[in-house]
Structure formats: C-alpha cells, structure tokens
Amino acid sequence: MPAVALSRGIQALAAGRPAESLPLLRAAMQAPEQAELAALNLALACMALGEFGEARPLLLRTHASLPGLGESAFRLGVIAGQAGQPAQAAEWFTQALRRQPGHALALVGLGSLAENRGDFAAAEGFFARAALLTPEEPELAFAQARIAVAQGQAERARRHACSCLNRRPMHVAAARLLAGVLADEAALAALPKADADSPAWVLVSACMLLRAGAEEAALAALHLAEALGEPNADLTREINALLARLGRAPLPGEAAPESASAVLQRSTALWQRHEFAAMVALLRAGLAQYGPVPGMAMNLALALNAQGQHAEALAAAETAVAEADNKVVALVNRLAIMPYHPQAGRAEALLAAARAIDAALPPMPAPCPATPRRPGRLRLGVLSGGLGTHPVGWLTLAGLEHLPAEDFALTVYSLKPRPDTLNSRFRRRADAWHEVGALDDSALAARIAADDLDVLLDMGGFGEGGRPLALRGKPCRKLVKWVGSQFSTTGLAHMDAMLTDRWETPPGFERFYTERLLRLPDGYVCYTPPPYAPPVGLLPALANGHVTFGCFNNLAKLTDAVLQAWAMLLRRLPQARLVLQTHAFADAETLALTARRLAAQGLPMARLTLLSGCPHPEFLANYARIDIALDPFPYSGGLTVCEALWMGVPVVALASDSFAGRHALSHLSNAGLPQWVATDLHGYLQRAEAAAADLPALAQLRAGLRDQVRASPLVDGPRFGRNLATALRSII
C-alpha cells in the first residue's frame, strides 16, 4: 500500500539505508496524494547514493509542486555546488530561504559559497544567522572552524572542530581540519572530548599522520576509526583514496556513493591499471552526473586517447580547456593528446599549443642572476620519473653512465621510485640521489636550487608525472629538455635548450621550437639493449610461406589513417598477416573496441593476431613472429623501433614534421637504415611491399641486423657519452 510504502521508505532513509528505501518510495509515488512527498524523499535517497543525475529532475519537480518547502531548492543548490556552479548554487540556496527562512543548512550553504570566494565577513554573517536557528548543527560548527582557519584563529578553529566531531564523530573533513591546527599528539590528547573513546579522535590522529607523510600508519588508524564507528561513506572513500595512492585495490564491499573528486580518484586508479574501458565508462557517467567537470574531461581525454579514439579524446581535452578555471592544467592535458592526432599532431599546431601553456602561466618574478659557477666538475642534474625499465631509462642510461665521472657530478631527482635493474645502474652512476616525487613545486625547486647545478636535464616534460612547470624559477643555470615525453617543443620560456639530432630537427626546423636546439652528432639517444633479449631467429616468412607484418606500439598511436594504410597493404598482399601487440589489449573491452575499429577500417580480421602485453622478455621474443615492423604515424615509435631493430626486424616508417613523428627516422638513420623511412603514404606502402617481395634480402638483413646495430652509434655508449659531454659543456 502506498501509504505504508511511504512510511517505511522514509524510515529506511532516516535509518541510513537509502538503497532499501528506493523501491518503497518509488511505489509510494503511485499514489497521487503522496506522490510529491515520496518524490522528494526519493530524491534525498538518490542523493545519499550519489545519484545526482536521478535526483535532480525529481527535485525540480518537487520544487514546483511543493511551494511551501525549501528543501528541494536547498538540495538543488548542493548539486550545483558539487558540479562547480557556485552562482547557480547560490540562487538555489536563496530560493530555499525565501520559502523557508529558517532553513539553517541553506544559510550554511550560502556561507560556504561566500567562504569559497574569500568573503569571510559575509560567510560569518550567514553562519551566525544559522547558529541562531540550529546552534547544535555539526555542519555549522565545521563551517565556523573553516572560517577560523582562514582567519588564522587556531584556538577558535580547534573549538569549533571539536564541537563538530563531538556530535558527528565520523566527520572526515572536520577531522582533517582539526589535524591541521594541532601541533602534535599531545595537543590532541589535551582536547576536551565528550567521549574519549570516540572514533573521532582516532580519525583526527589518522589525519595528523597523513599530514606527516606517515601513510601506512594513517591507513591503519583510518581502518580503526571505520571499525569503531558507524558506517560512513566519506570515511570509506578516504580509505579507498589512500589505498589508491598506495597502489592497492579498494577493499571488497559495497561501493560507496561518490563525490566528483572520488570519481576522479577512482579514474586515476583505473588509469594506473590500464583499465581504459572502465575508466571511460566511469568518467562518462561522472560527467553526466556532475556536468563538465574539467578534471573528468581531462582524464576522459587520456583514456580515449589510450584507446586510439583520437577525435573524441581531443574533443574532451578541448572541453576541459573551455571549462577549466586553471587553464594551464587543461592546456597541458591537451598538448599531451595532440601529438597522436592525425591533424593536430603537426609541428606548427604543437608549437601553438605549447606556447599557449606558457602564455597561460601566471606572471613570475624574474629569477635572480646566476652566480658564477664553481670550478671543478660540471654539476649536472636529472629530473625524471622514468629512471628504470621505462623508455626514458632504456634510451638515456648508456649516455649518463658514460659521462666521465671525473668531469661530471651527477645528481638525480627521481620523481618515482623504480626498484629494478636499470634503476640500480642509474643509482650506481649518481653521485647523489633524491626521491622528490612527494614534494610540491616550490619545495622541488628549492631542493634543486640548493645543489647549485650548472645544468638540469628535464627528462619528464609534460608526460605523466613530469614537472617542467616547477622549474619556472630556474633553480639551475641552464635547463635542457631531453627524452621523456619529448614530442614537441615545450613552449616554455624557461627551457633553455633541447637535446636533439639532425634527423629529428633538420636545419630549418628551429621555427617549430622555442628552445635552442643542441644537435648531437649521432642520434639524440643511446639505446641499452636488455641483457635478456632473446637471440634473433630465422626469418619467419621462410617457414610460414607468407610475410608477417607487426606493430608492437602503444594503441594510442594507431590512428584510423594508420589502420587504413595497413588495410591497403594487406589488400595488396593477400597472403600477408599482421600481428599487433600492446598492453592495452589486456583490457577486454578495449580489445573488443579495437577489433571493431580494425574491421571498420577494412582490415581482414582473419589475417590479424592481437596480442596483449606480457613480461618484457616474452614481448621481445614475439618479434620472432614478425618479418617487417610497421611504424605508426603521426606519432612514431621510439623505444619500440630500437627494440625491433635489436630483434632483427626492420621497420617501415613515415616521417612527419613533429619531434614525435621523426623518432623512427632518427633511430633508423643512426642504425644505417635511412632508406626504410618514407616521406609520404605512397612511399610507406611501397617500401613495405618491396621489402615483402624480397625474402632473401630480408633474411640476410635480419641475420646481420643485431650486429649492425651493435656496431652503430645507436648503442655506442662511450661514443654517446663523449658527445653528450661536449654538448653539455657547450651550453654553460
């Protein structure tokens, strides 16, 4: 019966069981006389479950149908606030007060909006009015604590935060605030507490541990607080966020409703696990719920790009640029997407996009004039999160190892610990090593500045985890870009130079770069082949009776134009096969999506093999299946080209004009195979066909290719070290 359903639904909601209340309230809506009240409570239940998209139309309906109540307007204000629409939120809160002047939480909402604007006087006014109505309201105490913090009144902040926590022990934000205004555990122990055994104080202790960087101890305390207290969605989210930061999966259990920031955190965790399809689904749902939240749009751009959906990815990135208050972050995100895009990945467009980042940076005082450099060894620094078995590691280790220790003092600022064999070799060469990933930009810059470096190599760029913007204050004499998301100019005024070569940036290409171009005499990288690389086997076509092409590049690089080119090639060579291998194929939905794309671009699926990622030795061993590697465009393979060559497989490439589009040209030329690089699509297809038509030549090339590479500058560490040393000396 609807009346009973309404009553039971409201009871379930009041008891903190919103999921249980949903069917009851939906049933109650069938009775006209109570439909609106049921609708309002259903909206509240949806909000408690984080389903703002479902709640909003219900609230709009009840706002119209229940003119005497301000609750609908208040809740619409909360939704607007969550979606980053403060003006709309203020309007809704005001409407709530017009209908219900005594709606204390609407006053608290207006106060919070004023606080966010920095108008603390107005905020205090709203909170004071609310306090007259509901002096015991914990959210009000929390709001007053926030104002006190903003005004530097620590004692008042402590008092209000304690008041909030005494009434609402599991108030995570209040605990966090209180942790920020307590000196130490002794101060926590000295606080007046209504219940000394309350989980609130464990929660505060956990927040203090987090502030001190003691993440493991904080996590243990959060678990204790959660186990001591009543079920609390905010606390569960806090624990799962910390677990995500520590690289651990959330504990199994009922999914807690999520705020926009929680969606973002979860999407980051999915990115780290390469679960791109789930990431896309999550972010699309989040954007539907909360509107065009810039962070969500940026992450969606990355996920779509990882799946090879370039047009959609760029569109999402552009949305983020349009919606973001902080344009710099969104512009960096867009620049990271563009090199993959068939049209936007051209050098001129990348230059414009990079310059836009520099233009959007807030003004900064000019750095102090550099002091004269100290005599003795050149003090070289490296800033990177890729110093291990990562493309940056494989392509730079040999060069740094062979910089003469008597002439170069090397200090490493590692942005990400990578305990592997390559990392050990970097550590062995480094005179000093600092893990700096946890430092904010100003602390990082100060750390670098303290070492009085002559040159700092930024080996992260705008890639994941890179921190080029932290270097704006020029904490060293010269800043040089080298490897690590080096796909274009950085566009940054503070980047002095870029290490390159005559193939990446031939004469005349200076117009695409804001940095001074330091061309190394051979290639701009030196490859370190892995000691576990399997031997080069015989040409597989001799046993198979057909040629097998392969591409082991990142899926993000496979544009529709590339797939069309390959489809054309396979039509011209009806016996040929194609093998694709990439880590993204481990995600079943991404694999299915890609298969649909391949088929849509005309590739004969019966002649294709799609392999997902595997451990590196096995990954390399799969080159035994390939006769000829096909490089994608406009974003060329980098490390992938070096690995193919080392495994005896020549690479057909198409060079464009961006730095990213000329990696294969550089490596192939450096290894003595410039003729494998075409300048247009016709040449690309012709080269591939010609190679496939001459198996004896291909077999001979394969048999001698590892030795050829071994004898080439591409892997000549001592030679590269000398060249690098000369280049570095030339800029100080």
Interface with another protein (CB under 8 A): 195-197, 202, 216-217, 219-221, 223-224, 226-228, 248, 251-252, 421, 424-425, 427-428, 430, 433, 530-532
Structural tokens at position 684: 């690309």
CB of 219 to another protein, least distance (A): 5
The nearest distance, CB 359 to another protein, in angstroms, is: 42
Give DSSP secondary structure letters for 252-320. Answer: SSPPPP--HHHHHHHHHHHHHTT-HHHHHHHHHHHHHHH---HHHHHHHHHHHHHTT-HHHHHHHHHHH
CB nearer another protein, residue 239 or residue 303: 239
Tell me the closest approach of the beta carbon of residue 474 to another protein, in angstroms: 28
Q: Which residues contact 304 (CB under 8 A, 6 or more apart)?
A: 280, 310, 312, 313, 316
Residue in this structure with the two tokens 């902080």, named with its chain if needed: 326
Choice between 599 and 621, CB closer to another protein: 621
Q: What share of the chain is helix, strand, coil (3-state, %, to 5)?
A: 60, 10, 35
**Which sign does the torsion angle of CA 491, 493, 494, 498 carry?**
positive
Among residues 574 and 615, whose Cβ is nearest to another protein? 615
CB of 430 to another protein, least distance (A): 7
- Minimum distance between the CB of residue 371 and another protein, rounded to whole angstroms? 25
Helix, strand or coil, per DSSP, at residue 579: strand
Which CB atom, from 355 or from 447, has the smaller least distance to another protein? 447
Going by the DSSP 8-state scheme, the letter that residue 153 receives in this structure is -
444 alpha carbon, distance to own chain's centre: 19
Task: Give backbone dihedrals phi and psi of 81, rounded to 5 degrees, phi first.
Answer: -65, -45
Residue 424 CB, nearest approach to another protein (Å) = 4
**CB of 484 vs another protein, minimal distance in Å:** 22
The DSSP bridge partners found for residue 628 are 549
- Closer residue to another protein (CB): 424 or 726: 424
Closer to another protein by CB, 224 or 568: give it. 224
Say which residue the tokens 């913090």 belong to.
Answer: 149
| Distant-in-sequence, close-in-space partners of 199: CB < 8 Å, separation ≥ 6 | 169, 170, 224, 225, 226, 228, 229
Q: Shortest approach of another protein to residue 205 CB, angstroms?
A: 9
| CA 176/CA 205 separation, integer angstroms | 9
Q: How far is the CB of 168 from another protein (least distance, A)?
A: 18
Q: How far is CA 174 from CA 127, 163, 165, 660, in A?
A: 16, 10, 7, 48
Q: What is the DSSP letter of 382?
A: E
